[in-house]
Amino acid sequence: MRHVSVDAASGRYEVVVGEGARHGLAALLAARLPTCRAAAIVTQQRVVDEGWLEELDPGVDASLHVIEEGESAKSLATVERLCAELVTEGVSRRDVVVGFGGGVVTDVAGLVASVHLRGVALVQLPSTLLGQVDAAIGGKNGVNLREGKNLVGTIHQPIGVLCDTAVLATLPAREWACGNGEIAKYALLTGGDPVALATAPLDERIARCVEIKADYVGSDERESGRRALLNYGHTLAHALETAQAGRRDADLRHGEAVAIGLAFAARLAARLARIDEARVRQHDAVLDVFGLRGELPAQSSASTIIELMRSDKKAHHSLAFVLDGPSGFELVEDVAEREVLATLRAMGAGS
């Protein structure tokens, strides 16, 4: 097993990465939460059907709380329902919420843990590559509004994260691609060798991404400065995801949207003369290493995308993006709309 410490301002915890890590749940609770008497496990039917809960032993009484699949489950209605179920089950302030699933589950479970009885302990058991390399690490929790992704949320650190690589065995190819979008982001942010990262053993690959994120979280837990750089590629990604919300033909996964966002951010930075075309090609090469494409979905509307990007939680009432540049990556505010529009149109977006 690989152990990575997250030293956040609000407390220190460990991320355990390796095959069978989920079986350390009882020991984790006994060590970190000795007065715990109940665990509320938030998950999805897919995790149940695949049998991953059958041998999960928290060492205390457990209740199961299943939420719907997909981004539609990331809603205040879901949070309200779960909080009501926790009250019915008698989950107290000394107990724990366990999020066992992908990014939707860990986001929702984290928010529920942060608001139930004004805050109870949280353990994350991410079951997707995206969850293990990014979503379950760092304490950010949130749900969506019609106006955009993750606009309601909290920062509530877990007491531990168990990244069991065994549960990734049943992931479909699209979910691997989803996780690879975030891994590509880390490769670009750190300037690391993308080939070495992409070909490393799975537990090493995950642990390296966790180490990178832990460093950012440790220096800026509340995302008041440096941690915002982890949103690289996400402003466009979130806009694309919001634009497709509710559409029956919607099929864009988060990591795939991030890959498009990375390609867009490089091209916008080049248009603003922050980087040269060689650096843009480097971005495309990194995406290629991870089997990702940086192309906008068909029939994308530039005006719709820009409107949605303005509502992004870090936009500060203007168009703001994390961009590469001569001094490295930084949050650039008040980017001219004409430059954003021109970049989107050059990538194939319509009006």
**91-131 per-position pLDDT tens digit:** 999 999 999 999 999 999 999 999 999 999 999 999 999 99
Structure tokens at 260: 């498009």
Give the pLDDT of residue 244: 85
Residue from 130, 151, 126 nearest 141 by CA: 151
| Parallel, antiparallel or unpaired: strands 96-101 and 38-44 | parallel
Residue 313 has pLDDT above 80, yes or no: no
Give the pLDDT of residue 50: 95
Q: Which residues pair with 140 in a beta bridge?
A: 155
Give the pLDDT of residue 100: 98
175-346 belongs to CATH 1.10.10.60: no
More confident: 250 or 318? 318
Q: Return d(Cα 176, Cα 50) in angstroms, integer.
A: 17
> pLDDT tens digits, residue range 198-209?
999 999 999 999
Residue 315 has pLDDT above 60, yes or no: no
One-letter amino acid for residue 238 of the chain: H
> pLDDT tens digits, residue range 3-42?
999 999 999 999 999 999 999 999 999 999 999 999 999 9
Domain extents for the chain? 2-171, 175-346
Instruction: Using pLDDT thresholds of 50, 70 and 90, give the confidence band for residue 251.
Output: confident
Residue 136 has pLDDT above 70, yes or no: yes
Structure tokens at 58: 């928290």
Three-state DSSP class for 14?
strand
The arithmetic mean of pLDDT across residues 323-327, rounded, is 97
Give the pLDDT of residue 8: 96
Give the pLDDT of residue 221: 96
Instruction: Using pLDDT thresholds of 50, 70 and 90, give the confidence band for residue 269.
Output: very high
CATH topology of domain 2-171: Rossmann fold (3.40.50)
